[in-house]
Amino acid sequence: MKVRILSAAVAIVIAVIVFILHNTILLPITVAFVIGMMIFELLRAASCVKFYSASIPAIAYGVLIPLIYATKLYEYKLVFQIALIFALFITFISKHEVLKYEQVTFIAAVSFIVPEAMLTALKTEALDDKHGIVLLILGLCGAWIADSGAYFAGTFFGKHKLCPTISPKKTVEGLVGGIIITGIVFVAFNFVYANYISDENIKVNYIITAVTGMICAVIGTIGDLSASLIKRQCGIKDYGKIMPGHGGIMDRFDSVLFVMPTFYAFVSAGDFYK
């Protein structure tokens, strides 16, 4: 438990530093690191990372995308995607005796889904010059608060298993609790921000805020269960050990992978702040 708490404390300190310096290159570098580690851990779990002529381009592409997002090089993203596709299929042809088409498909899916999903963190931050970083923090809360809320609700009230063969500890009561708690946290967060932190006279659409939080909680659970299912089918307990007591980067960002694009879609379509 001490190791888990210490690991979380270090992660929080790093996150605070990144948030404070979000207007610098540090935020894209952090997102690039997270994407690279997620792709690496997923490919390792599926025994694909050993095919270096495919895995290295896949990881390199994932790392590259957030780094060039705010530059003119991003206009040539299709060129990088085509190069990656060629690398995958050249590897498939040359390693056809040991590399199965399911693995090629998995590498391709991970290579494109993870960067595009996590890139919405940068897109969310860039939505508003004044409130962008607040929206980014709120989007991350949509993943992590839901998980924590579901854990505590399930601990105290959980009786009915949600998906016992995938995640034995998750309960229906925990899911409902996580949804409610996330909605409340979204409203409370924005109330405090609008009335006590922001130096502007802004109005918050609390209905949209609460609904967005609750939907993010549901989406986050789907992401968590999906990542757990991959681990079970690959026969592993954790994706890695980079965060002692917590597992790998993928173990901490599995729900973010699903929640962040959903949150970005909501804040892009509707006004949280007026």
Q: What is the pLDDT of residue 87?
A: 97
Domain boundary (97, 126, 155) is at: 126
37 and 76 assigned to the same domain: yes
146 and 245 assigned to the same domain: yes
Q: What is the pLDDT of residue 83?
A: 97
229 and 105 assigned to the same domain: no
11 and 66 assigned to the same domain: yes
119 and 148 assigned to the same domain: no
Full residue range of the structural domain in which residue 88 is found: 1-126
Q: What is the pLDDT of residue 13?
A: 94
Q: What is the pLDDT of residue 154?
A: 82
109 and 141 assigned to the same domain: no
35 and 110 assigned to the same domain: yes
Please give the tally of structural domains in the chain: 2
134 and 111 assigned to the same domain: no
115 and 137 assigned to the same domain: no
Q: What is the pLDDT of residue 1?
A: 61
Task: Label each residue of the chain as H, E or C.
Answer: CHHHHHHHHHHHHHHHHHHHCCCCCHHHHHHHHHHHHHHHHHHHHCCCCCCHHHHHHHHHHHHHHHHHCCCHHHHHHHHHHHHHHHHHHHHHHHCCCCCCHHHHHHHHHHHHHHHHHHHHHHHHHCCCCCCHHHHHHHHHHHHHHHHHHHHHHHHHHCCCEEECCCEEEEEHHHHHHHHHHHHHHHHHHHHHHHHHHCCCCCCECHHHHHHHHHHHHHHHHHHHHHHHHHHHHHCCCCCCCCECCCECHHHHHHHHHHHHHHHHHHHHHCCCEC
219 and 171 assigned to the same domain: yes
229 and 118 assigned to the same domain: no
Check: pTM over 0.85? Answer yes or no. Answer: yes
Q: What is the pLDDT along the chain (274 residues), one digit of tens a residue?
A: 677 778 878 888 999 999 999 999 999 999 999 999 999 999 999 999 999 999 999 999 999 999 999 999 999 999 999 999 999 999 999 999 999 999 999 999 999 999 999 999 999 999 988 889 999 999 999 998 888 888 788 878 878 898 888 888 889 999 999 999 999 999 999 999 988 888 788 888 899 999 999 999 999 999 999 999 999 999 998 999 888 877 899 999 999 999 999 999 999 887 777 6
